[in-house]
A and B are shown apart, each in its own frame.
Chain A
Amino acid sequence: MKETKELNIPLGPDPEKLLKLDLSHNPFGERMTLQMGPQHPATHGVLRLELQTDGEIVTQITPYIGYLHRCFEKIAESVSYPQVIPYVDRMDYLSSMNMSLGYALNVEKLMGIQVNERIQTIRVLVCEMNRIASHCVAIATYGLDIGAWTPLLFLFQEREHILDLFEELCGGRLLFNYIRIGGLSHDIPPGWTDKVLQFCDYMIPKIPELNELLSFNKIFIERTANVGVMSSKLAIAYGITGPNLRATGVDYDMRRDEPYSGYQNYQFKPAIGRGEQGQPGDCWDRYIVRVREIEESLKIMKQAIARLPEGDVKEQMPKNFNKMPIGDSFVRTEAPRGELGIYLVSDGTKKPYRVKARSGAYCSISALPAFATGCLIADLVAIVASIDIVLGEVDR
């Protein structure tokens, strides 16, 4: 990816006027190796980026992962099918519901279970709630990395409301273990849906407030527009999915294009990056796509509550896993950080033969050297924040 060796400083709309830097030889001295992380405030966990820097310009980026590797895939081979769910929860710990949904759908496909409408609707509801909570953290830490402190506290407050609702639902606030194979751990408590509707009404006016505070702040736009531009071609080539792909202008959403868990019954419009402040696929687009996804998720939540049918959430849960069909299955779902694909091989015993997860954040980080090389250190911080990685999902 040699063609990205240009300084990402907007010098005008004409691409020919972009400042081209010949970095092959530097008459003023040598480059400095800079270890960004694993203990660094802006690497969102324990990511290590080895940078070659020429002054403030980053000429080479090498991401090193594995500091949060917890052998999820290997552990999954030695525990029974339902016991994998807590481990799946811990992959992307900011959106546990979406993670366990992917795994549960996979085992259900393998066993041929078709869960009832109520289970599907509640699953959609909690997944969208968790998506909002996850995007809140993503936007909040993004602002923090740009230097804006206050949005962090504001958005964590909104997230707190969702976590309180989850606590009432299943007792957990971060890791839920709620979505089970063929069902749910609890039915929703009485009066809970009214509280969720109250939350929707509370959250909708918070989005314009956030836009005033951060999204359309002049300094924020200057810092993020035209920075870290990812073309849709590059995004597809690196297998980038989710909000990062949609920010490049590709209209692709698993929930709409390959619906699972009854997503075909909901009216929503995936947010697309259009390069409103700069070029499509820049950091600002990746930001605003997440803000708009929160709005779409709120719409889905309202629809889910409106159509919530009656039913038993536990009746279809398998009693034992001794007679698993032999074979394999692959299910992909739209998690907040891109497509979560889980591949499962069963050899007929009650333990999975092999579990392999494909996570969106892992692909996002693999593309980092391709589209971020040549930026400034401050831009790199913005880019790492904008692709929104969770190292638990990258390392697994």
Chain B
Amino acid sequence: MNLEFLSQIPLLLTIVYCVAVVAFVFLFVLFSNWLERKISAHIQDRLGPMETGGWHGWSQAIADALKLLFKEDIIPAAADNKLFRLAPYLVFVGSLAGFAVLPFGAQLIGSDLNIGMYYVIAISSLVVIGILMAGWASNNKWALYGAMRAAAQMVSYEVPVALSLLVPVIMSGTMSMQEIVHNQEGYFWNWYVFRMFPFSFVAFIIYFWASLAEVNRNPFDLPEAESELVAGYFTEYSGMRFAIFFLAEYGNMFVVSAIAATVFLGGWQAPFPFLKFIPGAVWFIGKAMSLVFVQMWLRWTLPRLRVDQLMHVCWKIFLPFSFANLMLVGLWAVLWGK
């Protein structure tokens, strides 16, 4: 897809891309919401939505979104009004901003920053501020518990996430997302997940599990643990504000999967060179979606960890392993080159 001519008018390009990304996020959330219902239903031996819209309840998510849109917007009397209103947007912005550096195709990227990876790690930390804000402003004890858990969990898990993302950075010698993808050109064994075996593979596994905690998915969904904390940090939210949290959560799911697809699974590169006629965006979204599917699969299979176990996994297992892994990859790169 050649959008080169648009670069003559940078402002227009930016606007077009922004609209396209927001539209993509909304479409993705609607689709993956429906997908999650269907996947959970089939895992649990039922059918899931079958009526709304006709074919396999395809418009169930749209009906849900409309319902949330028309619901009464309740702000508790004791809540901190300004923070309560601001928090969902902060969470959503943190999730949406990650899309700016996702390389959907060779030319299809919002901004190919030379510090793209650094930007992603930094911007994803914004989400936790929004969640803390939501929990505090709700003036609800369950929401506060959820927010505190989220803060502890997301800040802790950023460390193994960052350490394991540094492995492909060392391997490619750049932080630019596009260059990382270009370095994985060719057959699928050139993807970083299959190179420097097993270090890169270990980094991929650690990244995937830690990113589950980063986006509060099962088995690390403690901040919104339904059976313990009612609904966690968004207990008091209703209507569209709740929907925005929902959007951010699903958007985050896609962002972390897309980053894994970019840096470990070759991004928009086809697994075989003769499949290059298929647009890169298809490969990219396909790879990211298959990781999203695994996330959903885990959610409907596994129970939830406890707070201390969660911290144990992070600081005593993921962190030492990812650190040692990073060291060994660095050593390998120094001794034998990339």
Contacts and interface: CB of A to CB of B under 8 A. Distances in A.
Interface of A: 9, 32, 34, 40-42, 56, 143-150, 153-154, 157, 213-214, 217, 219-220, 222-223, 376-379, 381
B72 interface: no
B319 interface: no
B230 A150 contact: no
B219 A149 contact: no
A377 to B, nearest CB: 6
A217 B304 CA distance: 11
A143 B300 CA distance: 12
A11 to B, nearest CB: 10
A217 B303 contact: yes
B227 A147 contact: yes
A219 B303 contact: yes
Contacts of B46: 153
A9 B303 CA distance: 18
Chain B's interface size range is 20 to 34
Given A214-B303, A219-B302, A377-B145, 15 more contacts: A32-B141, A144-B227, A146-B227, A148-B301, A150-B300, A153-B45, A154-B45, A219-B219, A222-B306, A222-B309, A223-B305, A376-B306, A376-B308, A378-B228, A381-B228
B40 A147 contact: no
B302 A378 contact: no
Contacts of A144: 227
A393 to B, nearest CB: 21
A145 B227 contact: yes
Contacts of B301: 148, 150, 213
B44 A153 contact: yes
B44 A40 contact: no
B72 to A, nearest CB: 19
A148 B305 contact: no
B303 A42 contact: no
B309 to A, nearest CB: 6
B258 interface: no
B225 interface: yes
Contacts of A153: 44-46
Contacts of B228: 42, 145, 377-378, 381
Given A214-B303, A217-B302, A381-B228, A149 B308 contact: no
B45 A40 contact: no
Interface string B191-229: 000000000000000000000000000110110011111
B307 interface: yes
